Amino acid sequence: MPLDPTPVDATLFASLDPPRLAGSRCSGCGTVTFPATSSCPKCMEPTMAPYALPDRGTVWTWTVQGFAPKPPYVPPAGGFRPFPVGYVDLGEVLVEAHLLADAAQLRIGLPVRLVLEPTWETDGAPVVTYAFAAAEEDA
Amino acid sequence: MRSDDVYVVGAGMHPFGRHEGVSGLDMAEHAVRAALADAGVSWADVDFAVGGSNVSGKPDSLVSRLGLTGVPFTTVKNGCATGGVALATAVSALQSRRADLVAVVGFDKHERGAFAADPAAYGLGEWYAQTGLMITTQYFAMKTRRYQHEHGVSDLTLARISARAFRNGAEHPMAWRRTTLTEEEVLASAPVNEPLTQYMFCQPSQGAVGLVLARGDRAADLSDRPVRLAAVTQRTRRFGSFEVFSPWLSPQPWHSPSIDAAAAAFEEAGISPAEVQVAQLQDTDSGSEMIHLAETGLCKHGEQEHLLAAGATDFDGTLPVNTDGGCLANGEPVGASGLRQVHEVVRQLQGRAAGVQVPGNPRVGFTHVYGAPGLSACAVLTVDEGAA
């Protein structure tokens, strides 16, 4: 993979190496959101502070995107192929994400860890998003 | 019949499907005229109008076709719940006595393929759609899978929901999908978003529905068998619900605006879910109908497995659901879909269903829509004791 990947949206990441997602956490009620917000959707107060989300969790639900979405979806460089997506249970919050795993391997409860996933290229530079990859072997 | 109660006194629709050379406004005009004729009134008698369309024109421009009477015309746009919100708006105008005779219309004309959504319109970053996460069918599939996991409902039950929808659609002259499919054919169709297959999803389509509403002091003059809107409610999502277009969810996200809107409707009507004799539930996919059966209180979580196997949701079962084929057989013209449900229940309660007729003179009906980004509208409909 080329160096210096560009994140699909810089506000999603607390860091790229190692990858961590930039959420927010309410100092009042402990609610965690992703992406980060300024106002807590539960207690309705401006009590959210930046919070790097846990980078390991388990698959809470999943499906496989079986057809090519319409724009503004951008297919990867090699063209659209069906891809798994799901919600990952990080304990304090469930985060929607691409899942890097074989369909045969996917199940509710599968341990996963946060990784960067190459998507498309902009002006020759790789653009990366976040994904969760199967982490069964070191669970 | 109390003078403050609100009744449906006329119902009309343009068939659902795909109609080359017919615009959304054409279909809307057709539906309004059919509803006015059903009530035996003219456009000039209407003193308030509400219309909804998501993508197919400005509803209030219908006045140039129906008549420039100066009538106040409110337009609404609430995604898949547009029809329900239009109905609620009309009821408010009648209950507050700002109007005496109200026309409601919903219509849309969608192109082929799954809906595309604009992330900015939902307050989401462009990345969310660019990376292929902003897709309604994904959401339905993921909620369905988790629901199956927690409540033990099988893929066969999902297929039974589709098969029943297509059976009912085959009998309904206004429906789009008129061909029956077996459970095996539904399960074997293309895996769009597993566990949901091609024939477990409805498709964007085209159509229009019109209704005419009046209060009890006039309803009996306008209809032989007026249908009372015993309650019309709408709710947006609360914290802790599992909604479409959500990059994150709180743990245990099992709240739902459908739960709240349905509970409020039954409470306001003074009717329990067990009394419902015909129901129309949002079935953009068979998983959604499965979940909505329980969220609206019509059954317990997990009970769907037994109910579908026993044929309870068939038109002649103990809990008839989506007797016109629902969204699965009619497709979803977003602005019209919720009013189609009302149109069907009205005709069922009047004993003049266009397709299958629930036997035994049903007197209590229920409708439910759900839309992005997490709102629901429900209605309880009844016919008065003694009405013939």
Check if B246 contacts A (Cβ < 8 Å): yes
Q: Where are the domains of chain B?
A: 6-112+202-382
Give the mean pLDDT of B19-35.
Answer: 96
Check if B190 contacts A (Cβ < 8 Å): yes
Instruction: Tally C-beta pairs within 8 A across A and B.
Output: 113
The CA R_g of chain A, rounded to the nearest whole Å, is 16
Q: What is the pLDDT of residue A121?
A: 87
Chain segment B169-186, per-residue pLDDT in tens: 999 999 999 999 999 999
CA A20/CA B328 separation, integer angstroms: 41
Q: Is residue A23 part of a domain?
A: yes
Backbone dihedral region of A33: left (phi > 0), alpha (psi from -120 to 50 degrees) or beta? beta
Helical H segments across B40-77, by residue range: 63-66
CA B260/CA B380 separation, integer angstroms: 14
Tell me how close the Cα of A88 comes to any Cα of chain B, in angstroms: 9
This complex has an ipTM of 0.95
Q: Hey, what are B181's tokens? A: 């499919």
CA A138 to chain centre: 20
Check if B132 contacts A (Cβ < 8 Å): yes
Question: What is the residue-averaged pLDDT of chain B?
Answer: 95
Check pLDDT > 60 for residue B325. Answer: yes
Residues of A within 8 A of B112 (CB-CB) are none
Confidence band for A139, pLDDT divided at 50, 70 and 90: very low
Chain segment B200-212, per-residue pLDDT in tens: 999 999 999 999 9
Tell me how close the Cα of B113 comes to any Cα of chain A, in angstroms: 9
Give the mean pLDDT of A12-17.
Answer: 96
Q: What is the pLDDT of residue A137?
A: 57
Q: Which CATH class, in words, describes the domain spanning B6-112+202-382?
A: alpha beta
Give the mean pLDDT of B283-290.
Answer: 97
Question: Nearest-CA neighbor of B206 among B338, B116, B285, B111?
Answer: B111
Chain segment A44-86, per-residue pLDDT in tens: 999 999 999 999 999 999 999 999 999 999 998 889 999 999 9
CB A63 within 8 A of CB A49: no
* Structural domain harbouring A66: 6-138
Residues of A within 8 A of B247 (CB-CB) are 34-35, 95-96
Give the mean pLDDT of B122-142.
Answer: 95
Q: What is the pTM of this model?
A: 0.95
Check pLDDT > 80 for residue A2. Answer: no
Check pLDDT > 80 for residue B113. Answer: no
Chain segment B233-270, per-residue pLDDT in tens: 999 999 999 999 999 999 999 999 999 999 999 999 99
Residues of B within 8 A of A66 (CB-CB) are 190-194
Burial class (CB in 10 A: 0-12, 13-18, 19+), B210: buried
Total domains present in chain A = 1
Check pLDDT > 90 for residue B115. Answer: no
Residues of A within 8 A of B195 (CB-CB) are 63
Helical H segments across B296-364, by residue range: 304-309, 326-330, 334-349
Cβ separation B126–A72 shorter than 8 A: yes
Q: Is residue A1 part of a domain?
A: no
Percent of chain B with pLDDT over 70: 99
